[in-house]
Amino acid sequence: MARRYFGSAHRTPERDIHWIGFQIFKEHTGGGVYGGPGETVASILQSASQRAAAITLSTPADQIGRILDDLTFAVDELRHMTQFMGLYALVGGDTHKSIESLGQLENARRLASLRHELRTTDIGRAAVDLSEGGGLGLQFGLQEYFRICPPVGAIDREIATLSQAVLDDETKHLLAKFAATATLDNSDRTWSKVSDRLVAISTQKLRERNEQFSSPLAEHDIAGIASNRALGQTYIDDHLGFLLAGR
Ligand SMILES: [Fe+2]
Ligand SMILES: [Fe+2]
């Protein structure tokens, strides 16, 4: 997606405002990854700081650990959101709009409701967790694009810097979510269910990304990419090896 958009005439200043604006909304709401409907980076921070305020000498260490994890996670996402806000201002986005108004994409609504529906079971929730950041495809794609075409100008330099910063945080998030799947029973049946759900989420995620970038891909491209398991395996081998590095 990154290579299709950035390296082509499809990219325009208006479309830059559109994709960056939508990214602000996604960092704010999590697109169904942070929790049920209505959960945002602000509501996670609010509930974690209330729980932090209630800590006493007898609060179990694992409970404090979860509070710290939630705070750290939400601070990361809030930082991404504000970094994208800086970029949005740089490309000339209208800062009087509401964050909510930047997220009105049909495929984003569908992705969030799919994730909300799946997170009602342990297996579905594991798949939702593992889908955070869409396998980091956009960030790795941006890194690859800027390696081949080094950024020129303030906007592209900021996009390159930001995508590296997001990648540094998101690899940690994904690693933590991956480690948490150890609580699932380790049977082939369970993993094949996780994988089916992950494919469904990722396909919808790709549609969302496509709409975010003003549709550089046709629907048949998306269907082709989603059903190409060899392509998925190559991506995992090339970029997601860090998940298994510590095992
Ligand atoms: Fe993020
Ligand atoms: Fe994230």
Residue range 55-112, pLDDT digits in tens: 999 999 999 999 999 999 999 999 999 999 999 999 999 999 999 999 999 999 999 9
Residue 31 Cα to ligand 1 middle (Å)? 11
Residue 33 Cα to ligand 2 middle (Å)? 8
Residues around ion ligand 2, judged by CB within 5 A, are 173
Tell me the domain boundaries of the chain: 2-245
Q: How large is the average pLDDT for residues 148-167?
A: 94
Residue length of the chain:
247
Any idea what DSSP says for residue 71? H
Residue range 80-93, pLDDT digits in tens: 999 999 999 999 99
Residue 15 Cα to ligand 1 middle (Å)? 20
Whether residue 190 contacts residue 126, with contact meaning beta carbons closer than 8 Å, is answered with no
Residue 162 Cα to ligand 1 middle (Å)? 11
Token reading at 239? 């970029």
Residue range 37-55, pLDDT digits in tens: 999 999 999 999 999 999 9
Classify domain 2-245 by CATH number.
1.10.620
* φ and ψ of 86, to 5 deg: -65, -40
Residue 189 Cα to ligand 1 middle (Å)? 31
Whether residue 138 contacts residue 2, with contact meaning beta carbons closer than 8 Å, is answered with yes
Question: What is the pLDDT, as a whole number, of residue 242?
Answer: 86
Residue 58 Cα to ligand 2 middle (Å)? 31
Q: What is the pTM of this model?
A: 0.93
Whether residue 93 contacts residue 17, with contact meaning beta carbons closer than 8 Å, is answered with yes
| Ligand in nearest proximity to the CA of 133 | 2
Residue 79 Cα to ligand 2 middle (Å)? 11
Question: What is the pLDDT, as a whole number, of residue 246?
Answer: 63
Residue 52 Cα to ligand 2 middle (Å)? 22
Q: How large is the average pLDDT for residues 134-154?
A: 92
**In terms of C-beta density within 10 A (0-12 exposed, 13-18 middle, 19 or more buried), how is residue 221 classed?**
middle
Residue 170 Cα to ligand 2 middle (Å)? 5
